[in-house]
Structure 1
Amino acid sequence: MAAVDAAVLSITRGDNMGYDIKIFDPIRTAVLVIDMQNDFIAVGAPLETSTGRALIPILNKLVDALRDRGATIIYTAHVHKEDGTDIGRYGEIHPPSGRGEALVEGSLGAEIYPECAPKKGDRLIKKHRYSAFFETELQQILKERWIQNVVVVGVTTENCVHATARDALFRDYRTFVIADCCATRDHPDAGWGALSASQVQQTSLIILKQSTADVCTSEELVKRFCFPTVLPT
């Protein structure tokens, strides 16, 4: 494995925390498309993230490019039972979910937004917390596919994208967060002042870059493709 790593990956580290992955093998890569669901993306949705709609063309282009080069594409859907029995303490800090007003399993709102729906061969994982790794089959899928690199896109940047990226890092995956394929929304004043979506996005990406992932644009990522290796048998 070490010889393969040396052949397909180059990492540079500066004086600051964080790292830049210079080249990577798409076949050893999983793209995690986080929570691009109707309840987040549709106009007037209870958790509407309008900037999430705006990034769909760029997100689709990147996902298609990686899929065409052999990457594993995995969509996540954050869902809860209508009676809230699987939500735990999360329902106390996220009232719409706690009251069954959003992300109800089996509802139209919990489905992936049609303009960025999974394609044949893609996987869909249902999750119940921010991280796509928490009590899901994701880790097993990545092991079965010999995945080394994880690319995280979707919504929202500061919550489910961040939690998933951090859990990927702590499971020793080389982790990318794609700046122009993630989105968030305005945050009201919770005692320290309100933040616009752009402020939340900027702050989240800075923190991710310094602590968790290689944060880059979709165009920058595509330039780093290397020739794929043969998967182990």
Structure 2
Amino acid sequence: MNKYTLPKQSSSALISIDVQNDFTLIGAPMEIRGTHEKVLQMLQLLTAFRAAERPIIHVIRLYLPDGSNVDACRKEMIENGMAIAAPSTTGAELVDELKPDKLIRLTPEGLLQGEFQLLGKQEWAMYKPRWDAFYQTTLESRLHCSFGNL
């Protein structure tokens, strides 16, 4: 690595993406194979970032039961009654092992409006309306403005 690509721990943020029960747990409706086996490694990273008081952002998906905010490839499944990361369900929650406190629950109303939900010191959840965490979100500006030169 050269000096321009070398990680700078003192100015790094950690972003987790879609580590929700419906995508992570074994046998979940949209299980992404192999993700559950990586939860311990993710926890180790989260623990290090929490100890260093570095910013952590958990990027999540929430699919409304009417399918109005669902990607085209999953829209028909949702319209036909499949519940995937539905707001206020266990499936939409972050995997408990990765939360700063297992009792924390996501607040879909604010998240769906683009608000960042504070989960712990220097730790938030945010909703992404599509596959890309930067598409139609304030993630980039938040990283630069709120956390300095990342």
Structure 1 residues 50, 115: CA separation in 2 closer, same or farther (over 3 Å shift)? farther
| Pairing 1:146–2:127 present | no
Moved runs in structure 1, 4+ residues, more than 3 A? 95-100
The one of 10, 14, 22 equivalent to 2:3 is: 10
2:57 aligned residue (57, 74, 79) = 74
- Give the 3 Å change call, closer, same or farther, for CA 126–139 of structure 1 in structure 2: same
2:132 aligned partner: 131
After superposition, residues 177-192 of structure 1 pair within 5 angstroms as none
SS at match of 2:34: helix
Give the aligned residue type for 1:106. Answer: S
Aligned residue pairs total 127
The corresponding residue for 2:86 is 104
The CA RMSD measured in Å over matched residues stands at 2.1
Identity among equivalent pairs (%): 24
TM-score between the two structures when normalised by the length of structure 2 = 0.74
Q: Flag the 1:54–1:123 CA change in 2: closer, same or farther, 3 A.
A: same
- Displacement, 1:78? 0.8
Q: What stretches of structure 2 of length at least 5 have no aligned partner?
A: 102-119
User: In the alignment, residue 77 of structure 2 is paired with which amino acid?
Assistant: P
Instruction: Give the aligned partner of residue 202 of structure 1.
Output: none
1:46-125 superposed matches below 5 A: 46-87=29-70, 90-91=71-72, 93-94=73-74, 95-97=76-78, 99=80, 100-118=82-100, 120-121=120-121, 122-125=123-126
Which of these two proteins has the greater Rg computed from alpha carbons?
1
Whole-angstrom CA distance in 1 between matches of 2:100 and 2:20:
11
Q: Distance in 2 between matches of 1:69 and 1:10?
A: 22
Cα distance change, pair 28–47 in 1 and its aligned pair in 2 (3 A): same
Structure with greater proportional strand content: 1
Provide the rounded CA distance (Å) in 2 between the counterparts of 1:98 and 1:28.
43
Q: Distance in 2 between matches of 1:134 and 1:97?
A: 22
Structure 2 distance, partners of 1:66, 1:37, is: 19
Q: Contact 2:46 / 2:98 at 8 angstroms: preserved in 1? A: no
